[in-house]
Structure 1
Amino acid sequence: MATLTINAEDEKRVKSLGFLNNKGTDNFSGRVITVNGKITANQLKCLSDAANLYGNGIVTMTTRLTIECQGIPYDKIEDFRKYIAKEGLITGGTGAKVRPIVSCKGTTCKYGLIDTFALSEEIHERFFVGYGDVKLPHKFKIAVGGCPNSCVKPDLNDIGIVGQMVPNFDEAICKGCKKCSIEAACPVGAPKVVDKILKINPEECNKCGRCIGQCHFNAIKDGTPGYKIYIGGRWGKRIAIGKPLHYIFTNKEEVLNVIENALLLYCKEGKTGERFSTTIERIGFENVEKQLLFNEILEK
């Protein structure tokens, strides 16, 4: 195995550019940023060519939906970066800053309640790109899930967003059917017919929207789309399950403002080397929630 000859300062410098050392060698994996895991066919071809020209021809995926080309020699790093720039690709995604945004395929998935691609792309531009030079106490991860199935594990991110569909139940139309089609459609058992009227347990209902349009008498013919936000999730050596804010957001701008408020609070209150979940534990969830929400919401 080759002896490592790159000094620590060189390794630190290229790590900030998104190049991680392949242990025991002078080669690196170049981490290429994607926007929520989506790239074009031309970009894919460019990466394939770059991996063969400058690396060992192996391309891997990361848990943050970035792409890594392995085996790039130290002296070929700049050549690699220039080559992929032809298709608008950049490297990065390391350090104490906002990390690449991940999202599920809620835009195209039959269970998707929100346009996850559009939202995650907007978050990418506003916070991954816009806050690219902002040094945070630690890394900060954001995930967008299209529905309560939570395939991208939003509650294990510093901020997680989950699409919601709040059922609009018209009690006056309900017939209290002996075999209720709403009960049958719900995957979590939230609705029950009690005393010949449907009752939906708000603590059990996860706003998945599966009940919409299922009633033969149109007692739930539509719903209100929205967003649920978790804060303080983390995985790794110490795991923390994010807690949801006590509000279902119905406006995308409110969601973006909450993210910005969280980053500003983290910059102000977080200690160097401390994850957002620890900051929340230290200063209190209720305190953080009040600072993240804005007056027009608190007054509702």
Structure 2
Amino acid sequence: MALTEQTIKALKAEGFLHNRGTENFSARIITGNGTLQAERLSQLSNLSETYGDGMVSLTGRLTVEIPGIPYSRIPAFREEVASLSLKTGGTGAKVRPVVACKGSTCIYGLADTQSLAQRIHTAFYEGWHEVIFPHKFKIAVGGCPNSCVKPELNDLGIVGQRMMHLSPECKACGRCISEKRCPMGAIKQREDGKRYINRSLCNNCSRCLDTCPFGKINADEPRYKLYLGGRWGKQKRYGTPLPLLYSEEQLFPLISRILNLYKEEGRPGERFSSVVERLGMDHIARVLHETV
């Protein structure tokens, strides 16, 4: 049969992407935070061998695709996927599947990124699934300023950080100044020999925390820096940071306000990056913090 553009578009909305030059499709299986139990991996392997071409593809947004599914077999595939409590999707002008780095286990991680990403996924990918936005909206959670998952290039980037504090009783031994202990070179020496943290250079990575043999470096509890309006693709934009750091409890109402702002202020087909540039960050920050 000849597939129509209307059929291809309708299937894409359900998470079935047309394989170029064929009548086959890739089924996009959603993960909540980029992780899957071993049992799920086995199920995906069986699905691919039964319905697809025996391959499983990993996407840039930490979902999984099973390619090579013939159009005629999609109904049977849907039924089996539903019986396994798996879900297809991740397309359209909606909140997209949330991505997270491995901060939950990484030695540099300052936050349980996978747990947080799962909560955001449940609240906004699933909870707002029927909400249509001007365009797609991507969220990424990073565990530290290393930015391995590139949060700053998403519509909303969330980055775990810990603000460091250097005690006035610092003995100026110099252990914390090396590049290994402070990659940003943010710990400086005054004329009187005392050390201080240059806040314009410090990125709150906490690498210096355990370097002081006298215990004179302390850290706040983990909080989160938010970047708005990042974008990757034909047009690129580095997300603009909000001026504050936020607790995990503050994140969820703030994300709701960000999404509502985009829905109300965005024009049809307009990416959030363009909304941020059009409205200006001063205006956006003021609106978001009116009820914080």
Normalising by the residue count of structure 1, what TM-score does the alignment of the two structures yield?
0.94
Q: Secondary structure at the match of 1:248?
A: strand
Letter in 2 for 1:153: K
Gaps in structure 2 of 5+ consecutive residues: none
Contact 1:156–1:233 (Cα < 8 Å) also in 2: yes
Q: Does 1:209 align with 2:206?
A: yes
Q: Does 1:47 align with 2:41?
A: no
Q: Distance in 2 between matches of 1:222 and 1:214?
A: 12
Contact 1:167–1:224 (Cα < 8 Å) also in 2: no
Letter in 2 for 1:181: R
Q: Does 1:219 align with 2:213?
A: no
1:133-172 equivalences under 5 Å are 133-171=130-168
Letter in 2 for 1:122: R
Q: Distance in 1 between matches of 2:65 and 2:175?
A: 48
**Worse-superposed segment, 139-148 or 39-48:** 39-48
Q: Distance in 1 between matches of 2:83 and 2:259?
A: 32
Gaps in structure 1 of 5+ consecutive residues: none
1:284-299 equivalences under 5 Å are 284-296=280-292
Structure 1 equivalent of residue 186 of structure 2: 190
Letter in 2 for 1:271: R
Contact 2:166–2:196 (Cα < 8 Å) also in 1: no
Letter in 1 for 2:108: Y
Q: Secondary structure at the match of 1:247?
A: strand
Q: Does 1:88 align with 2:88?
A: no
Letter in 2 for 1:293: H
Deviation readout 1:14-51 (Å, 9 max, x if unpaired): 11100010011111010110111111111111111111
Count matched residues: 289
Structure 2 equivalent of residue 181 of structure 1: 175
Normalising by the residue count of structure 2, what TM-score does the alignment of the two structures yield?
0.96
Letter in 1 for 2:126: V
> How far did residue 268 of structure 1 move?
0.3
Structure 1 equivalent of residue 267 of structure 2: 271
**Worse-superposed segment, 125-134 or 85-94:** 85-94
Structure 2 equivalent of residue 252 of structure 1: 248
Q: Distance in 2 between matches of 1:36 and 1:235?
A: 20
> How far did residue 151 of structure 1 move?
0.2
Contact 1:59–1:70 (Cα < 8 Å) also in 2: yes
